């Protein structure tokens, strides 16, 4: 018997649930697409394209809609004899305008003429970029996806001005900047803001109905007929809507639920499989999150778990500091000063392990934060097992550990 054999009862195209799969149709974004289309209208008129800034939380379809529309735009441009080139750059691994320029040049050049990542004077790199862009001619749209990863904004300033500054003669270039982080807009210098954000588009989070439509569309491609009943779609959608209105999260959950069904040798995906899948995803999120923390991060987290088990949360950083110092003492580790300890609390809330809420002091004014745990403590204690061994347990922690067995 073969050790590996295709399991064909559940998935017919599992890859359709992956993030990099591009759906042929976009569902439930009619209004946003309409705004996007009108922002791109100058392209079809053969005019200078507007620069567009698109923002919205993770998983709300920014990348998918942009890819979809640019594809349509290219088709229509060909029909109306508009000379259009589109370039998409993901800035996730790029942190400076210099790196972005090199990447753009290499995208446009033949492999044998590619530049090295470093070692050229900045002016020279810019010069090469203008030569490449001007050599194309016509209209060029450059998409900077995850643009907030670029720390200096000079390229976002220079490209829109290139024509006015005499650097481009034959090409009209427009930029589409995409960001998960609306605050990024405020970090831009005002001259970049006014040029990059000529047209601003915002994509809101998805509600459960919209997520259901997206999931259904994708499930029909990924799974065999009648493998995914309505209630499974509804459950994955409800989960995504409750958390962040994030389509990616819901699609991941559906894929994992499918994997569970395959593993169980089932002939349908069930609601129970979705529950199991959620637990698996939650577990790996926590295990990965905790594994990525430093030892100090582990000690801060353990102090917070202790307070949670004692019913002392939400609580202020000061109370956590007191407990954390005891924990450090037990671990024979030098404690951090409160400021640094608070940085770790901030990191925990960024990871979604803890939550941080701002409170007002009332009459006397002033604000402070309260922290609580936002994660299943059993999973955390499992992920923290080395710290628990090193520090030892309190009564409340022992009680939970006993309960678990």
Ligand X SMILES: Nc1ncnc2c1ncn2[C@@H]1O[C@H](COP(=O)(O)OP(=O)(O)O)[C@@H](O)[C@H]1O
Binding site residues for ATP, as ranges?
60-64, 206, 218
Please answer whether residues 58 and 148 qualify as being in contact, where contact means their C-beta atoms are separated by less than 8 angstroms. Answer: no
Of 202, 199, 177, 185, which Cα lies nearest the Cα of 41? 199
Among 62, 212, 235, 273, binds ligand X (CB under 6 A): 62
Please say which residue, 91 or 257, places its beta carbon nearer to Mg ion.
91
Q: Does 63 bind Mg ion (CB under 5 A)?
A: yes
Under 8 Å CB-to-CB from 310, ≥6 apart: which residues? 394, 396
Q: Note whether 66 binds Mg ion by CB under 5 A.
A: no
Instruction: Name which of 64 and 301 has its Cβ closer to ligand X.
Output: 64
- β-strand 52-55 against 199-202: which pairing, if any? parallel
Distance CA 25, CA 272 (A): 30
Query: Whole-number minimum distance, CB 341 to ligand X, in Å?
Result: 32
Rounded Cα gap, residues 237 and 245, in angstroms:
9
C-beta of 94 vs 306, nearer to ligand X:
94
Closest CA to 228 of 257, 252, 206: 257
The answer to whether 112 touches 82, Cβ cutoff 8 Å, is no
Write out the binding residues for ligand X, residues 259-278 only, by CB under 6 A. none
CA distance 305 to 262: 36
Q: Contact 299/324 with Cβ under 8 angstroms?
A: yes
Considering the complex, state which of residue 43 and residue 91 has its C-beta at the smaller distance from Mg ion. Answer: 91
Q: Which of 11, 55, 59, 156 binds ligand X (CB under 6 A)?
A: 59
Specify whether the CB–CB gap between 156 and 196 falls below 8 A.
Answer: yes
Q: Are 346 and 297 in contact (CB under 8 A)?
A: no
Given the complex with ligand X, which of 27 and 286 has the nearer CB atom?
27
Residues 5-44 interacting with ligand X (rule: CB under 6 A): 19, 21, 23, 26-29
**Closest distance of CB 277 from ligand X, Å:** 17
76 by Cβ neighbours in 10 Å (0-12 / 13-18 / 19+) ranks as middle
What residues from 185 to 244 belong to the interface with ligand X (CB under 6 A)? 214
Which candidate, 152, 202, 142, places its Cα nearest to that of 176?
A: 142
Handedness of CA 209, 251, 353, 310 (dihedral sign): positive
179 binds ligand X (CB under 6 A): no
Measured from the CB atom, is 34 or 194 closer to ligand X? 34
313 lies in the binding site for Mg ion (CB under 5 A): no
Taking the least distance from each CB to ligand X, the nearer of 78 and 350 is 350
CB atoms within 10 A of CB 112: 5
Cα 285 to chain centroid distance, Å, stands at: 14
**251, 261, 300, 320: which one binds ligand X (CB under 6 A):** 251
Nearest distance from C-beta of residue 79 to ligand X, angstroms: 25
Q: Which of 88, 248, 264, 285 binds ligand X (CB under 6 A)?
A: 248
Q: How far is the CB of 341 from Mg ion (least distance, A)?
A: 34
Measured over the CA atoms of residue 43, residue 66, residue 203 and residue 151, the dihedral's sign is negative
Residue 120's binding partner, choosing from Mg ion, ligand X, none, with beta-carbon cut-off 5 to 8 A by kind? none
Find the residue with minimal CB distance to ligand X. 61
Q: Which stretch binds Mg ion (CB under 5 A): 58-66, 119-127, 167-175, 323-331?
A: 58-66
Nearest residue (CB) to ligand X, 19 versus 47: 19
Q: Which of 60, 150, 197, 379 forms a contact with ligand X (CB under 6 A)?
A: 60
Calpha distance 333→150 (Å, rounded): 37
What does the alpha-carbon distance between residue 72 and residue 75 come to, in Å, rounded to a whole number? 5
For residue 176, the minimal CB distance to Mg ion (Å) is 12
Q: Which stretch binds ligand X (CB under 6 A): 62-70, 89-97, 194-202, 252-260?
A: 62-70
Residue numbers of the site for ligand X (CB under 6 A)? 19, 21, 23, 26-29, 56, 58-64, 214, 247-248, 251
Residues that bind Mg ion (CB under 5 A): 63
């Amino acid at each position: 018997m073969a050790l590996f054999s295709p399991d064909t009862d559940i998935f017919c195209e599992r890859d359709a649930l992956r993030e990099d799969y591009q759906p042929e149709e976009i569902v439930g974004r009619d209004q946003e697409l309409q705004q996007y289309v009108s922002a791109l209208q100058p392209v079809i008129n053969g005019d200078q394209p507007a620069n567009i800034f698109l923002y919205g939380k993770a998983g709300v379809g920014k990348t998918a809609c942009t890819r979809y529309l640019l594809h349509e735009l290219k088709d229509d441009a060909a029909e109306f004899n508009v000379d259009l080139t589109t370039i998409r750059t993901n800035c996730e691994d790029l942190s400076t305008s210099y790196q972005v320029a090199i990447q753009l040049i290499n995208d446009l050049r033949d492999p044998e003429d590619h530049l090295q990542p470093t070692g050229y004077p900045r002016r020279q790199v810019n010069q090469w970029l203008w030569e490449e862009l001007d050599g194309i001619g016509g209209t060029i749209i450059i998409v900077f996806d995850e643009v907030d990863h670029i720390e200096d904004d000079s390229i976002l300033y220079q490209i829109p001005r290139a024509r006015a500054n005499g650097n481009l003669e034959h090409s009209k270039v427009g930029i589409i900047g995409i960001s998960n982080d609306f605050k990024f807009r405020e970090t831009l210098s005002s001259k970049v803001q006014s040029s990059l954000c000529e047209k601003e588009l915002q994509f809101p989070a998805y509600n459960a109905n919209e997520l259901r439509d997206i999931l259904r569309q994708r499930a029909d491609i990924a799974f065999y007929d009648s493998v995914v009943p309505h209630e499974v779609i509804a459950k994955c959608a409800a989960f995504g809507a409750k958390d962040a209105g994030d389509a990616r999260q819901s699609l991941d959950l559906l894929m994992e639920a499918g994997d569970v069904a395959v593993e169980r040798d089932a002939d349908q995906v069930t609601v129970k499989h979705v529950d199991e899948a959620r637990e698996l995803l939650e577990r790996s999120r926590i295990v990965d999150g905790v594994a990525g923390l430093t030892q100090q991060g582990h000690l801060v987290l353990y102090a917070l778990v202790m307070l949670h088990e004692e019913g002392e949360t939400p609580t202020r950083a000061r109370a956590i500091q007191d407990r954390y110092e005891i924990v450090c003492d037990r671990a024979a580790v030098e404690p951090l000063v409160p400021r640094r300890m608070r940085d770790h609390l901030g990191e925990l809330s960024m990871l979604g392990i803890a939550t941080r809420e701002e409170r007002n002091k009332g009459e006397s004014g002033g604000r402070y934060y309260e922290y609580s745990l936002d994660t299943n403590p059993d999973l955390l204690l499992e992920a923290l097992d080395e710290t628990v061994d090193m520090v030892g347990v309190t009564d409340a922690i022992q009680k939970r550990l006993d309960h678990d067995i």
